[in-house]
């Protein structure tokens, strides 16, 4: 995988945000505008990286090819997540109010999961995953890997993050989101496990590193969601928390994987 203008931008932005985050930690600031600015920075990263991915998908014919569809949908998912985070920041940074739950930010977050899932499905067509399903090993993975992801999701997102407590309250939309977010995290982890397990022996050439990096990015997204869920449960979260840095890394890694599909490498 060669570096290009997109990867250089992403690396530069990651370094900037890491320095930004370290500064927040050393200053021990938790409730000033600089904290809100970090969340805004994450939203900008997601939105900009998503748009770059959409441009990259055009090199593969956009919706006319499996790779093009995969890159396009994953990029739309990144954009959706970024817009959700910008809306989150708008509540805090502009309106100066706590982010309500549910809010319009949740629309961006909820749309990201199906876009990523369908996008990875199309990419799997180009990575040889379907050939694995013709073998007993592949069919076993199709059963066992989602179960493994379910166990991991249950333990981290329910036992640890929510301390084995799940209270159903509020309106229908809130109840829906309370169930949807853990389910979405399970889907993200399952997708990462499946594409890795089913495609590993067939990955080669220009696809290998971009796909591997994408998988790593979705694992980071699961870790980020877990950290955010846990810190909000124990009421230790603030804008600029470690959870936000993990979101920075997750979006960076997913976007870096997408950038690897750029056919006009420089």
Highest mean pLDDT among 53-67, 86-100, 168-182, 246-260: 246-260
142 vs 148, residue with greater confidence = 148
Q: What is the pLDDT of residue 266?
A: 45
Tell me: pLDDT of 18 over 80. yes
Segment 224-253 mean pLDDT:
90
In a domain, residue 264? The reply is no
List the one residue out of 84, 152, 72, 63 whose CA is nearest residue 120: 72
Tell me: pLDDT of 22 over 50. yes
Q: Are 21 and 248 in contact (CB under 8 A)?
A: yes
Question: Distance of alpha carbon 82 from its chain centroid, rounded?
Answer: 10
CA distance 130 to 199: 8
Tell me: pLDDT of 212 over 80. yes
Q: What is the pLDDT of residue 174?
A: 81
In a domain, residue 93? The reply is yes
Q: Are 51 and 80 in contact (CB under 8 A)?
A: no
In a domain, residue 266? The reply is no
Residues whose CB falls within 8 Å of the CB of residue 58, separated by 6 or more in sequence, listed in order: 68
Provide the pLDDT confidence category of residue 193 given band limits of 50, 70 and 90: confident
Span 117-147, pLDDT tens digits: 899 888 877 665 555 555 555 556 656 667 7
9 vs 92, residue with greater confidence = 9
Q: Are 79 and 46 in contact (CB under 8 A)?
A: yes
199 vs 27, residue with greater confidence = 27
In a domain, residue 265? The reply is no
Answer positive or negative: Cα dihedral of 254, 71, 183, 41: positive
In a domain, residue 231? The reply is yes
Q: What is the pLDDT of residue 71?
A: 92
Residues whose CB falls within 8 Å of the CB of residue 146, separated by 6 or more in sequence, listed in order: 190, 193, 194
For residues 181, 186, 189 and 195, what is the CA-based torsion angle, rounded to 10 degrees?
-120
Segment 257-266 mean pLDDT:
77
Q: What is the pLDDT of residue 48?
A: 96
In a domain, residue 203? The reply is yes
End-to-end CA distance of the chain, in Å?
Answer: 11
Segment 213-237 mean pLDDT:
88
Please give the residue range of the domain that contains residue 203.
Answer: 5-259
Model pTM score: 0.86
Number of domains forming the structure of the chain: 1
In a domain, residue 103? The reply is yes
Secondary-structure breakdown of the chain: helix, strand, coil percentages, each rounded to the nearest 5: 80, 0, 20
In a domain, residue 168? The reply is yes
């Amino acid at each position: 995988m060669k570096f290009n203008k997109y990867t250089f931008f992403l690396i530069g932005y990651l370094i900037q945000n890491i320095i930004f985050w370290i500064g927040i930690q050393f200053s021990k600031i938790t409730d000033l505008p600089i904290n809100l600015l970090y969340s805004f920075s994450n939203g900008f990263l997601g939105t900009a990286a998503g748009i770059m991915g959409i441009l990259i998908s055009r090199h593969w014919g956009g919706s006319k090819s499996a790779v093009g569809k995969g890159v396009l949908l994953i990029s739309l998912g990144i954009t959706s997540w970024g817009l959700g985070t910008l809306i989150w920041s708008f509540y805090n940074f502009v309106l100066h109010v706590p982010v309500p739950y549910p809010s319009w930010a949740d629309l961006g977050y909820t749309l990201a999961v199906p876009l990523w899932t369908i996008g990875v499905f199309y990419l799997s067509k180009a990575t040889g995953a379907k050939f694995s399903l013709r073998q007993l090993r592949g069919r076993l993975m199709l059963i066992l890997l989602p179960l493994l992801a379910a166990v991991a999701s249950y333990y981290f997102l329910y036992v640890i993050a929510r301390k084995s407590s799940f209270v159903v309250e509020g309106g229908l939309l809130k109840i829906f989101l309370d169930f949807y977010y853990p389910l979405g995290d399970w889907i993200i982890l399952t997708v990462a496990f499946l594409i890795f397990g089913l495609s590993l022996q067939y990955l080669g050439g220009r696809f290998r590193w971009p796909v591997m990096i994408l998988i790593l990015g979705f694992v980071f997204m699961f870790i980020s969601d877990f950290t955010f869920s846990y810190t909000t449960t124990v009421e230790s979260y603030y804008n600029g928390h470690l959870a936000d840095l993990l979101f920075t890394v997750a979006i960076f890694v997913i976007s870096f994987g997408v950038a690897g599909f750029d056919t006009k490498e420089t």
